[in-house]
Amino acid sequence: MFQTSFKYYKSRNPPPTFENVLLIGTDQPNLKPVQLTHDNESIFSGLYPPNDWKIYELCSRPGLLLLANPFTCEGQRYWMKRSLVNYPMHPNTTNQSNASQSTQQVQWWKMVQSITDATERKKFAQKLRWTTLGYQYDWTHKIYDETRKENFPSELRALVQYVATVLGYNRFSPEAAIVNYYPIGSTLAGHTDHSEDDRTAPLFSFSFGQPAVFLIGGLSRDEQPDAILLRSGDIIVMTGESRLCYHAVPRVCADLELPDNMGNSAKRWDPNDVSVEQHDDEMWNDVEQYIQYSRININ
C-alpha cells in the first residue's frame, strides 16, 4: 500500500493528480485544529505570534502535528541562508565531505558563488544532499556517533525549543539534526526514524523552498498512507503514535506542477516584502537563485 502510493506520486508519465493531497492551513475533514492550552505572549524573531499559528493534528495519524507556515518572509530567508551558508561548513559532515579535500578547507557556499556559469553552478550546488549538525549521524551503520559530537547551532536550538515550548514540550532539547537538500525531481524513500536513543521525544521537521508531497503511513508498509503538501515554512512534528510511522517524500516539485489553489510557495519569501532588511541583498540573490530549484528540510 505504501509503495503503491509512493510510485503514484513519484510518476512522471502520467503525472499524479493532487486531489487527495492535504493542504495544511485549509479546512479539511482529516485535519483537526489544535488549540494551544495557554496564551503565548513571547515573540521569537522571524515568527508570527503563536496565537496566530494554525496548528492541526492529522486525525488518521494520532500525534502527527502540522503547522501552517508561521514564519515571516524575513524569517524564511534567514533559515534558508543559515542552511546554505553556515550548516554545510566543517566540522559538520556532508555527503560531499570526502569528495575532495578542498570542500573541507573552503566554505561550500563560497565555492558555489565562485562558479560564474549558471548551468555549472546549479549542477555543482545540486550535489549537496545532506549535512549533519550536533551528533554526527553514521549513515553506514544508521547510528549517531558518540565520538563525533559537534556544537549544535545555538540559533537553531533556540528556534526548536521555542516551537516545542509553544506546543507543550517544555523539556525538549535538540542534540542532533539532519539538513536535507532536495533538487526538484528528487525523492526520499519510505523509512522510519528509529536511531535516536529516546524515541518518545518528538521529531521536528521544517520545510523551506519548493513544495513537496509528504507521505505518512502506519507502523508497517501495509497501511495506506496519507499525502500532505509541504510548502515553504510549514512544520511537521511527529509525536506519540506517529513517531515511528513510515514516511517518505515521493515528489519535490515546482509550483507550476500544482493546481492554482495549492501553489504560490514563492510568495512566502516575497523579495518585495518591505520588512526584509536590505543590507544583505547580494547574498540573498544567490540564495534565492538556489531555492528556485530546491527544497531545504531541517530535521
How far does the chain reach from its first CA to its final CA, in angstroms? Answer: 26
**Closest by CA position to 293, among listed 110, 105, 143, 118:** 118
Asked whether 291 and 209 are in contact (CB, 8 A), the reply is: yes
191 known ligand binder = yes
In the chain, DSSP finds a helix count (H) and a strand count (E) of 7, 15
- Which DSSP state fits 259? -
C-alpha cell of 131?
549535512
Q: How far apart are CA 140 and CA 146, in angstroms?
A: 15
- Nearest C-alpha neighbor of 295 from the set 247, 231, 243, 205: 231
Distance of CA 260 to the CA centre of its chain: 23
Contact assessment for residue 225 and residue 8, using Cβ atoms and an 8 Å cutoff: no
Question: Is 193 annotated as belonging to a binding site?
Answer: yes
Query: How far apart are the C-alpha atoms of 53 and 35, rounded to whole Å?
Result: 10
The H or E element containing residue 237 is: strand 235-238
- Residues annotated within a binding site: 191, 193, 247
- Residues annotated within a binding site for Fe cation: 191, 193, 247
